[in-house]
Amino acid sequence: MDLYQLFKTRTPIIGVVHLLPLPTSPRWGGNLKAVIDRAEQEATALASGGVNGIIVENFFDAPFAKNQVDPAVVSAMTVVIQRIQNLVTLPIGLNVLRNDGKSAMAIASCVRAQFIRVNVLTGVMATDQGLIEGEAHQLLRYRRELGCDVKILADVLVKHSRPLSSPNLTVAVKDTIERGLADAVILSGWATGSPPNLEDLELACGAADGTPVFIGSGANWENVATLMQAANGVIVSSSLKRHGKIEQPIDPIRVSQFVEAAHRSWNSQGESKPISGPVKIHS
């Protein structure tokens, strides 16, 4: 996976838009316009603050379906992503929680999104939704059937879960890339907002052998310089929220602070400053 070709930087910052509850979810409020309005505001805030890509998640649909989500969720996410694409020119990805990679691939193919995140691509993980089995064989065949080139960013030993087999990080990374054919891997801490440790990131990068490794949780403006010493990119959400609270909307000031901290760290390491995509606003 060529990060520069996709994100116009070799060290991409991907901001996350957490969608308000969608139709059929337990906390669905009955107003899709409210979901769209907040998603548009957050995507604009992320783009204005200088991120290099955006990933859209049905985060507030918890408790999540284990695998396949309701068709209404697929429909709603498709509409929301198209609205975001009308506002920003950044690469867009999506994650259909908890592990509906097939629906994510279908949406991405139709709206021409560039990447998806899959929490369990290979192996078996014990989660609060039960046992989730990776279905890389189905997803990769489905991508070929659709005739698209949507990139797959796959979590390794994903947060909010425990592996059934021995949690050997090196083996898990190699299996995800070599046997699951992931285009990039993601390493998180134990939960949302919890960062991976530097040693694990270094192990993952060594095992990945050139395949990009993303930080998947817990990055903030204070630790991003340290974490990015051993990663190729970062997916960030919690620390960009107002007051750092996960339920709050994205704070444009926090986005700018995070991006500036990341750029300072790269500049101090002799890296060129990443190129951010422009924001396009329709009047």
Asked whether 20 and 35 are in contact (CB, 8 A), the reply is: yes
> Which residues contact residue 90 at a Cβ distance below 8 angstroms, ignoring those fewer than 6 apart?
46, 47, 51, 52, 53, 54, 277
- pLDDT of 266 reads 67
**Does residue 272 fall inside a structural domain?**
no
**157 in a domain, yes or no?**
yes
Is 281 inside a domain boundary? no
Asked if residues 262 and 237 have their Cβ atoms less than 8 Å apart, the reply is no
H or E stretch covering 130 = strand 130-133
For the whole model, what pTM was predicted?
0.91
Backbone phi, psi, residue 108, to 5°: -60, -40
Q: Report the domain count for the chain.
A: 1
* pLDDT for the residue 221: 92
Q: At which residue do the structure tokens 């329709």 appear?
A: 282
Bond preceding residue 98 cis, omega within 30 of 0: yes
CB atoms within 10 A of CB 114: 17
CB 95 within 8 A of CB 57: yes
Give how far Cα 68 sits from Cα of 223, 229, 250, Å. 35, 37, 28
Q: Which residues contact 69 (CB under 8 A, 6 or more apart)?
A: 58, 61, 96, 97, 100, 103
At a CB cut-off of 8 Å and minimum separation 6, what does 228 contact? 11, 215, 234, 262, 265, 266
pLDDT value for 41: 97
Tell me 61's DSSP state.
G
74: in domain: yes
Query: Has residue 278 been placed in a domain?
Result: no
* Nearest by Cα to 83 from 250, 241, 281, 238: 281
Helix, strand, or coil here: 107? helix
The answer to whether residue 282 sits within a structural domain is: no
Q: Rounded CA gap, 171 and 43, in Å?
A: 36
Report yes or no on 279 lying in a domain.
Answer: no
Look-up of token digits 């697929």: 74
pLDDT confidence of residue 259: 95
Domain CATH code at residue 30: 3.20.20.70
What's the pLDDT score for residue 127?
Answer: 85
Q: By the 8 A CB rule, do 20 and 60 touch? A: yes
- Grouping H, G, I as helix, E, B as strand and the rest as coil, residue 209 is coil
Position 102, amino acid: K
> Per-residue confidence of the chain (283 residues) as pLDDT tens digits?
899 999 999 999 999 999 999 999 999 999 999 999 999 999 999 999 999 999 999 999 999 999 999 999 999 999 999 999 999 999 999 999 999 999 999 999 999 999 999 999 998 888 888 899 999 999 999 999 999 999 999 999 876 777 777 678 999 999 999 999 999 999 988 766 778 889 999 999 999 999 999 999 999 999 999 999 999 999 999 999 999 899 999 999 999 999 999 988 766 665 444 434 434 444 3
The pLDDT assigned to 102 comes to 98
pLDDT at 194: 79
Residue 236 is part of which domain span? Answer: 3-267
Residues 6 or more apart in contact with residue 160 via CB below 8 angstroms: 127, 128, 190, 191, 192
| Pairwise CA distance, residues 53 & 55, whole Å | 7
Has residue 283 been placed in a domain? Answer: no
